Amino acid sequence: MLCLWKFSSTNKIFLMRSKIMIYEIRTYNLKVGQLQEYWERFGEKLPARQELSQLGGHWYTEAGPLNQMVAIWPYENLEQRAEIRRAAEAGPNPIWPPDTSDLIVSMVSEIFLPAPFMTPLGDRDLGPIYEMRIYTYPAEGMPQVLEAWGAAVGERQKFSPMAGCWYSEYGGLNNFIHVWAYRSFEERLRIRAETREQGVWPPKGSVRPITQESKILLPAPFSPMQ
């Protein structure tokens, strides 16, 4: 299994000392046909793991890159993350991670900061359809993006809720992830058309992205975000 950790030593020192909330977004590419087995092994170990810290959300891809799982773990900072990982992996019978390495082709772990206007993840029934959009912006563009989005997101959320929004301040710079919840595929199409026609969305005064990617996600059975 190929594992990638997108981070630099300088950034790690900063976040270890920081009091900024961080979110670890872990993306797993599974072997074809292994989704149910992955769920069973992950779900079996999850209760013990959540005694250390709570899972923010867990989804699988319905459209976009297939056979992909996305897990989001909130932490107070990198120091807390390191402490929890040490505790979870300690002893002859570690409680975490689940034994899923034979099911996984590759995994990427990335650290993001929450946008100022984001509502924390938790036990919320917003879906079941979630769209994760991943943008890359020009260098130095993130402050303008956050300002424009902050001014517009309240009106946009009158149509459907934002499940989460993060940006990369460290590691792979200028990356921006936002997740929107919908009750159905039809609602997603309708809301996207209505917000554009009414001039609600996309935000005015933002920066044009360099790249865009979209994934349609459905929640795993054990995800707190349903």
Is the residue at 16 inside a domain?
yes
Note the pLDDT tens digit of each residue in 129-186: 999 999 999 988 999 999 999 999 999 999 999 999 999 976 677 999 999 999 999 9
Q: Are strands 2-6 and 104-114 parallel, antiparallel or unpaired?
A: parallel
Residue numbers of the chain with a pLDDT score lower than 70: 1-19, 170-171
- Please report whether residue 226 resides in a domain: no
Is 118 a domain residue? Answer: yes
Relative orientation angle of helices 78-89 and 9-17, to the nearest 10 degrees: 90
Q: To 5 degrees, how large is the angle CA 205–CA 207–CA 209?
A: 145
Residue 138 is assigned to a structural domain of this protein: yes
Whether 175 is in a domain gets the answer yes
- CA-CA-CA-CA torsion sign (95, 98, 102, 105): negative
| Residue 90: both structure tokens together | 């300690």
pLDDT for the residue numbered 19: 63
pLDDT on residue 139: 86
- At 177, which CATH number? 3.30.70.100
Domain-located, residue 92? yes
Read off φ and ψ for residue 22, nearest 5 degrees.
-125, 160
**For position 7, what pLDDT does the model report?**
46
Taking the CA of residue 165 as centre, how many other CA atoms within 13 Å lie in the half-sphere pointing to its CB?
16
Domain region containing 111: 2-219
Cβ neighbours, 10 Å, residue 154: 10
Whether residue 213 lies inside any domain: the answer is yes
Count of domains for the chain: 1
Angle at 28 between CA 207 and CA 45, to 5 degrees: 125
Would 224 be classed as within a structural domain?
no
**Contacts of residue 3, Cβ cutoff 8 Å, sequence gap at least 6:** 106, 107, 108, 109
